[in-house]
Structure 1
Amino acid sequence: MARYKPIHQGLKLLALDFDRQILPGTFEYALRHLVDNELDLEGFHQRYKNDVQGAAAFNPAALLKIILLAYSRGIISSRKIEAACRENMLFIAVSGDSQPHFTTLAAFIANAGELIAKLFAQVLLICDRQGLIGKELFAIDGVKLPSNASKEKSGTRADFLRQAERMEKAAAKIIGKHQQADASNVDEVAAKREAKQLERLQREAKQLRDWLADNPKDRQGSKGSIRLSNRTDNESAKMATSKGVVQGYTGVAAVDCHYQIIVEAQAHGTGSEQELLMPVVNATAPMRTPETVIAADNGYHSEANLKALAEAGIDAYIPDKDYRQRDERYADQSHLLIHKSIHSQLTSHLNTINTVQHS
């Protein structure tokens, strides 16, 4: 029988050069180069006030590299990221064996929103400088993502006011029963149960009253209609999806067709894609040229959007919701073939643009 050299799968003590674990041409190599050499992190450094006193802090450059590497691997839990920094050699190499606690990672993510947005703008400028953004076509699409907010806690101010009044009436009824029972024998188990129910009703009614006091107006939709609020996360929205109704956000991205660089990405607290088109298009203005083509699916089609695009002089391709029914070419085609047909048409249009530009 053939003999083979042993393969070690468990623990082994090794002397490693962290620098050599990060191979050229990989995501982590580009990440390290950008964070260490290209990005301006002064905004992060200014948040620390331990020049003379206080414990040494984790370098924000190391935290950024850890978090972005984790996200590129689909790891979004702070506890799992902490474990990776302790157990995975690539994370150890990228972070310089920093091993931050998961609470440090969570706090950094929670407090770095505006600074991260500025870094995104810096990365776009670097990509543009390297010729990675063709600016020929920006494709816009979105996805509805659930949040941690409870959809059962959605409603208008009138809905919440009625809920508070019902709870207060139920609490008053329980208090009345207690007063009647004081003069007679009563089951102690039932009395304790009703006392807990009373405490819960009074607490939830107070939470509703406090929320109503802090939010004196209903949220307004794009057409002036009332948009449902949420007492857990009032920036999120109640949205219908293919998997049912969820409470969350619509994430919309604009992607350049040259190297699939994301030039704009935001999470929006509405389920209506139509009202998000122009804000996304306007946000891409610094990266667009007069010849840039905008493409989006029929979820973004509306008369108002088409008019706004025409007034802005933007060349855009957005099918209406019934275009498949009118075009006999799509009668027997699957969604995959339809998308390929649209891609072929857009490619042909871009080839025409390139021919004109270089003639």
Structure 2
Amino acid sequence: MQYIQGEARNQGSLFPVSLEELVPDDHLVRVIEAYVGRLDLGVMGFGKVQPRKTGRPSYDPADLLKLYLYGYFQRIRSSRRLEAECQRNVEVMWLLGRLAPDFKTIADFRKDNGAAFQATCRAFVQFCRQVGLIGGELVAIDGSKFQAVASSRKHLSLKRLKRQQEKLERHIADYLAQLDAGDEADASEAIDRTAVKAALQQLQSKHADNLTNQALMQEQNLEQFVVGEPDAKMMRTHRGPRVAYNIQTAVDGEHCLILHHEVTQDCTDNQQLEPMATAAKAVLEQEALVVTADAGYSNGEQLQACEDANITAFVPPNRAVNTQGDGQHFERSAFSYDESTDSYQCPAGKALQLKQLNRGNRIYAASAQDCAHCPLKTQCTQAKQRYLSRHVHEAAFERMEKRMQAHPDMMIRRRSIVEHPFGNLKQWLFGNGRLLMRHFSGARSEMSLAVQAYNLKRAINVLGARRVIELLA
């Protein structure tokens, strides 16, 4: 019995197969063709939309946009690899009509059209709204760290520079001591002064550079700086400290589509709740919105800002706990607040009156005499009197806690919505790798293309390629 045999390579054919016959009707490239065909690239902000009347013709930006959308969908982000795909991939040949731009043309298109990529990303979200893929009933917000191009060795911080300065000064002192010892030694015991002087000069040069870097950073009020990637910062990640960007997403609860994303350099999420919720609300064009996020977004000022914007937020409180007396003392919840008198009542029935304001927080204190004769003092405080602090937006925290108690399943819903996109982006698209482009502009361009590819994939998975093509037509 023989194996299945293929065609001979020199076998001719009376009717050569066309590219159209090689691409199925429900293929991804046909979805991309239909999507890009309905975009007004001039309105989106792409350059070279109108061909020049003189000079060498340029590539149509629609073709290069198709190439990038296909590439990011297929986990191909490198311009050199996209160039290779144009010459060997039948799907890309069909999509571009056998065009084969060089890698520099492909790379420049991504570099020069960052704002246009963001516009096309927003356009696809609006298309998803029109066809009913976005419900707008619940939006989950989350952030994740994406590693930047720069290496951690390029990271400078004032604390690290000062440690290096002390180390360099010790080495310089050691070499100077060697030179002094060489002056006092006999000729037979003399050290190699030339080698010592060369090493000393190198150390002094590094020391001068260190002081210069410190002075420049202090002049610009910078705590850290990354050489070659000034917009990125050293951040904590699941793989340890990395030079990275904090990518924020607002995800719709209906089909886990990303409504809005933002590239930030904030190392934490506690200032991102209201900006992301407001942006998602604008995308949805709704008067009110319900959002949920994890405890990293717990911030009284942000909670109050959401309420002012008619946004109902569900965020677990992330607040300091009682650490006095090994945690055996009365918690804040044991004290009741009276808004009419602006005072607290302790478990013994005594009042804690407002004593001072500290950075916006209100500090309340019990009478030292009341505490001295209180039978519950050992359960309350080790100090002479009990103090309580009330956040300037304490009322917003209290309303939040009531909402969380009324909806204990909200955190489970949050995880099922917002963890899905980041898992896909990091594992499926980036392969746990780093961004390829530098600075905010490059990171925004890459994330816009990545989010478009993710949303496109979700739409195809939910509706099917044929239905998406029909709706785009």
Give the TM-score of the pair, scaled to structure 1: 0.70
RMSD: 4.4
Of 305, 312, 336, the match for 1:308: 305
Report the equivalent of 1:52.
Answer: 54
Summarize the alignment of residues 192-203 of structure 1 with structure 2, pairs less than 5 Å apart.
none
Contact 1:211 1:231 in 2 (8 A): no
Contact 2:277 2:311 in 1 (8 A): no
Task: Go from structure 1 to structure 2 and tell me whether the alpha carbon gap of 1:346 and 1:33 turns closer, same or farther (over 3 Å shift).
Answer: closer
**Structure 1 residue 81 and structure 2 residue 82: aligned?**
yes
1: CA distance, partners of 2:214 / 2:90: 47
Report the equivalent of 2:262.
Answer: 266
Task: Go from structure 1 to structure 2 and tell me whether the alpha carbon gap of 1:11 and 1:170 turns closer, same or farther (over 3 Å shift).
Answer: farther
Report the equivalent of 1:275.
Answer: 271
Contact 1:39 1:123 in 2 (8 A): no
Shift of 1:249: 0.7
**Structure 1 residue 294 and structure 2 residue 298: aligned?**
no
1: CA distance, partners of 2:83 / 2:211: 37
Task: Go from structure 1 to structure 2 and tell me whether the alpha carbon gap of 1:10 and 1:170 turns closer, same or farther (over 3 Å shift).
Answer: farther
2: CA distance, partners of 1:320 / 1:9: 70
2: CA distance, partners of 1:203 / 1:262: 47
2: CA distance, partners of 1:65 / 1:235: 29
- Stretches of structure 1 that go unaligned for 5 or more consecutive residues are 220-226, 323-337, 348-359
Structure 1 window deviating more from structure 2 (144-153 vs 108-117): it is: 144-153
Report the equivalent of 1:148.
Answer: 149
Shift of 1:272: 0.4
Shift of 1:140: 1.4
Contact 2:147 2:244 in 1 (8 A): yes
2: CA distance, partners of 1:284 / 1:186: 71
Shift of 1:244: 0.7
Larger-Rg structure: 2
Of 193, 217, 222, the match for 2:220: 217
Structure 1 window deviating more from structure 2 (290-299 vs 4-13): it is: 4-13
Structure 1 window deviating more from structure 2 (60-69 vs 253-262): it is: 253-262
1: CA distance, partners of 2:119 / 2:227: 30
Task: Go from structure 1 to structure 2 and tell me whether the alpha carbon gap of 1:138 and 1:82 turns closer, same or farther (over 3 Å shift).
Answer: same
Q: Deviations over 1:231-274 (max 9, x none)?
A: 23111111112211111111111121223321111221122012
Task: Go from structure 1 to structure 2 and tell me whether the alpha carbon gap of 1:91 and 1:203 turns closer, same or farther (over 3 Å shift).
Answer: farther
Contact 1:238 1:270 in 2 (8 A): no
**Structure 1 residue 284 and structure 2 residue 300: aligned?**
no
2: CA distance, partners of 1:346 / 1:68: 26
Contact 1:164 1:205 in 2 (8 A): no
Contact 2:158 2:217 in 1 (8 A): no
Q: Which amino acid aligns with 1:267?
A: V
Contact 2:246 2:264 in 1 (8 A): yes
Shift of 1:229: 2.5
Report the equivalent of 1:96.
Answer: 97
Shift of 1:214: 9.5
Report the equivalent of 1:231.
Answer: 227
Contact 1:136 1:291 in 2 (8 A): no
Summarize the alignment of residues 98-117 of structure 1 with structure 2, pairs less than 5 Å apart.
98-117=99-118
**Structure 1 residue 245 and structure 2 residue 248: aligned?**
no
- Stretches of structure 2 that go unaligned for 5 or more consecutive residues are 320-407, 418-473
Contact 2:157 2:224 in 1 (8 A): yes
Report the equivalent of 1:328.
Answer: none
Report the equivalent of 1:133.
Answer: 134
Secondary structure of 2:141 counterpart: strand
Q: Deviations over 1:146-188 (max 9, x none)?
A: 11223333344686689689989999x99xx99x9xxx99989
Q: Which amino acid aligns with 1:116?
A: F
Q: Which amino acid aligns with 2:46?
A: F
Q: Which amino acid aligns with 1:51?
A: K
Q: Which amino acid aligns with 1:270?
A: D
Secondary structure of 2:273 counterpart: helix
Percent identity over the alignment is 24
Contact 1:255 1:263 in 2 (8 A): yes
Shift of 1:35: 0.9
Secondary structure of 2:260 counterpart: strand
Contact 2:161 2:210 in 1 (8 A): no
Report the equivalent of 1:6.
Answer: 5
Summarize the alignment of residues 149-164 of structure 1 with structure 2, pairs less than 5 Å apart.
149-156=150-157
Task: Go from structure 1 to structure 2 and tell me whether the alpha carbon gap of 1:158 and 1:298 turns closer, same or farther (over 3 Å shift).
Answer: closer
Contact 2:293 2:414 in 1 (8 A): no
Contact 1:255 1:261 in 2 (8 A): yes
Structure 1 window deviating more from structure 2 (209-218 vs 108-117): it is: 209-218
Q: Deviations over 1:292-337 (max 9, x none)?
A: 3212222222223222222222122222359xxxxxxxxxxxxxxx
Structure 1 window deviating more from structure 2 (84-93 vs 240-249): it is: 84-93
2: CA distance, partners of 1:101 / 1:204: 45
Shift of 1:291: 4.2
Report the equivalent of 1:343.
Answer: 413
Shift of 1:199: 7.6
Secondary structure of 1:248 counterpart: strand
Task: Go from structure 1 to structure 2 and tell me whether the alpha carbon gap of 1:4 and 1:116 turns closer, same or farther (over 3 Å shift).
Answer: same
Q: Select the structure with the greater relative contact order (CA < 8 A; seq sep ≥ 6).
A: 2
Give the TM-score of the pair, scaled to structure 2: 0.55
Report the equivalent of 2:471.
Answer: none
